[in-house]
Amino acid sequence: RVLETTDLHTNIMDFNYYTGKDDPTIGLARTASLIHAARKDAKNSVLVDNGDLLQGSPMGDYMANKGLQIGDIHPAYKAMNLLDYAVGNIGNHEFNFGLDFLEKAIEGAKFPYINSNVYCADENGCWKNIKKGENLFTPYVIKKTEILDNDGNKQEINIGYIGFVPPQILLWDKQKLSGKVTVDDIVKTAEKYVPKMKAEGADIIIAVPHSGIGSSANPGDPMAENATYALTSVKDINAIMFGHSHSIFPHADYKDLPNTDVEKGLLNGVPAVMPGRWGDNLGVIDFKLERKNGKWTVISAATHARPIYDGAAKQPLVDADLDIRQVVELEHQGTLKFVDEPIGAAEANMYSFLTLVQDDPTVQIVSDAQIANVKAKLPPELKGFPVLSAAAPFKAGGRHGTSSDADQYVQVDKGPLTFKNAADLYLYPNTMVAV
C-alpha cells in the first residue's frame, strides 16, 4: 500500500483561521487519522508527500514572516515527523519564500527530499557545495524496504522514488530563482533517471510529480506544467502519486480522457492518484506483488482517494489526531495572534459572493492598495502619472465541489480589521510588479 498527501499548504490544523473556527474539511490532523487507519488494514505500507507544503495558509505566512533560525523545526515537519514518511517531493510553492528559507525548513524533515529536474545555475555554486549544473536536490532514492509476504515471512523490496516540479517555477518565482537554478522538462528527466534507477536495482518505481494530469497528446508538450499523463508513457514507472491541480483522481470528472479508467484509477494503464488539497483526501494505491526467480512483478493495483469529510452528508469521516494537534499547538497559538493583529478599520462590509458577475469591493480594495503603493514609490519625474491596477477575485467559490460553501468567498465585516481580513482579501503572498 502506497499512501500520499499533497498540497497541504501548511494546513496542519483542522482549523479555518479566516473564520476562527474548527474546520473538519481540512488539515493534516484529520488526514493523519486516515493514514493510521490505512496502515492498520494493510500488511505493508509506505507514505509519500507530493509538496506545496510550506506556503498557502495563515500558519505558513506566520512562519515565513517570523523566519527560521538554524535548528528551528517548521510546524509542517513537527507534524509530518510523527507520521514516518518515506520521502517528500518539492512543490512549486516551496520556492515562494526563497531558497534560504527552503533550505532551513527542509533541514527539519526526518525523511529524504527528492527532486530530479531542478539544477544549480549559480556560477558561485549553490547550497551544500552543489556546483553549477548539478542537481539541486537528491533526484531519486531507492529504499530497501522490509515487507511481510502472504505467509508472514519477511521479504525485501527496493522501492525507487523520483520527484518532479513544474519548470514554470522559473516564471512564478523569477525574482527568487533567476540566475540561481534551471529546470528541465519532467518527461525528459524521467527518461534520463528511470533507467538508471532500474539499473541500480529498483524493483518498483513510484513517480511523485508535483504536476497535474495535463494533455493526453503523445508526445506531450515540452516543458509542460501538467505532465502526469505524459509520464505514463515512460517505461518502468509503476505508480504516479501526483498533485498540484488540487483536484481528485480517480474521479468521474476524468472519464472522457483517453485510456483512463476512473474506477480502477488507471491513467493510460498506470495506477495514479491525486488526493485533492489541504489534507482533504489521502491517496491510496494497493499493489499485489509477486516474487518469481528473485524478481518482483506487479500482479494488480487498485487506486483510491479517501476523503476526510463527506461533503454531501456534511459529516466528518474521521476525528482529528490529537498528537498532530498537540505538536503544533505553539505555532497554532502564534498564528492566532498573528492573524488578529489590528491593521485598520472598514466603513462597509466587503463580500465576494457576486464577484464573478459584478464589480465588488473585495477586488477594488486590492487595486486601490496597489495604486496607492505604486504612487508613493514613483520617482520624481513620473509624479502625477496615471497608474492602472489589475486584481483578480481569488476567493470566488472554490474549485471542486465547494462552490456552494460560503467559506470559499471573502467575508470581511465592517469595523476593525486584522491581518486575518487582509489574508482573506488577498489569499496568496504574491509579489506586486509595476511596469
Residues contributing to the site for Mg ion (CB under 5 A): 52, 91-92, 244
Q: Which is nearer to Mn ion, 166 or 361 (CB)?
A: 166
Strand partners, 369: none
CB of 294 to Mg ion, least distance (A): 40
306 binds, among Mn ion, Mg ion, none (CB under 5 to 8 A by kind): none
CB of 246 to Mg ion, least distance (A): 8
Q: What is the dihedral of CA 176, 181, 187, 192, to 10 degrees?
A: -160
Question: Measured between alpha carbons, how far is 377 from 392 in angstroms, rounded to an integer?
Answer: 23
CB of 424 to Mg ion, least distance (A): 21
395 binds, among Mn ion, Mg ion, none (CB under 5 to 8 A by kind): none
Give the closest residue to 230 by CA, choosing from 240, 245, 220.
220
370 binds, among Mn ion, Mg ion, none (CB under 5 to 8 A by kind): none
Q: Which residue is nearest to Mn ion (CB)?
A: 52
CB of 87 to Mg ion, least distance (A): 17
Interacting residues with Mn ion between 318 and 377 (CB under 5 A)? none
Q: Which is nearer to Mg ion, 101 or 296 (CB)?
A: 101
Chain mean position to CA 432: 23
Q: Per the structure block, which three cell numbers stand in for 189?
A: 528527466
Question: Measured between alpha carbons, how far is 166 from 239 in angstroms, rounded to an integer?
Answer: 19
Q: Which is nearer to Mg ion, 174 or 414 (CB)?
A: 174
Chain mean position to CA 413: 31
DSSP state of 409: B
104 binds, among Mn ion, Mg ion, none (CB under 5 to 8 A by kind): none
268 binds, among Mn ion, Mg ion, none (CB under 5 to 8 A by kind): none
74 binds, among Mg ion, Mn ion, none (CB under 5 to 8 A by kind): none
Give the closest residue to 240 by CA, choosing from 251, 250, 232.
232
CB of 246 to Mn ion, least distance (A): 6
CB of 64 to Mn ion, least distance (A): 16
Question: Is 14 a binder of Mn ion (CB under 5 A)?
Answer: no
Interacting residues with Mn ion between 35 and 54 (CB under 5 A)? 52
Q: Which is nearer to Mg ion, 59 or 197 (CB)?
A: 59
Strand 2-5 with 181-183, pairing: unpaired
Residues 6+ apart with CB under 8 A from 333: none
Q: Which residue is nearest to Mg ion (CB)?
A: 244
Q: Which is nearer to Mn ion, 4 or 7 (CB)?
A: 7
Q: Which is nearer to Mg ion, 181 or 350 (CB)?
A: 181
Q: Which is nearer to Mn ion, 114 or 202 (CB)?
A: 114
Q: Which is nearer to Mg ion, 52 or 173 (CB)?
A: 52
Question: Is 7 a binder of Mn ion (CB under 5 A)?
Answer: yes
Q: Per the structure block, which three cell numbers stand in for 327?
A: 505538536
Question: Measured between alpha carbons, how far is 54 from 10 in angstroms, rounded to an integer?
Answer: 5
Cβ-contact 236, 194 below 8 angstroms? yes
Question: Is 173 a binder of Mn ion (CB under 5 A)?
Answer: no
Cβ-contact 303, 288 below 8 angstroms? no
92 binds, among Mn ion, Mg ion, none (CB under 5 to 8 A by kind): Mg ion
Buried-state track 241-271, b at ≥16 Cβ within 10 A, e below 16: bbbbbbbbbbeeebeebeebbbeebbbbebb
Residues that bind Mn ion (CB under 5 A): 7, 52
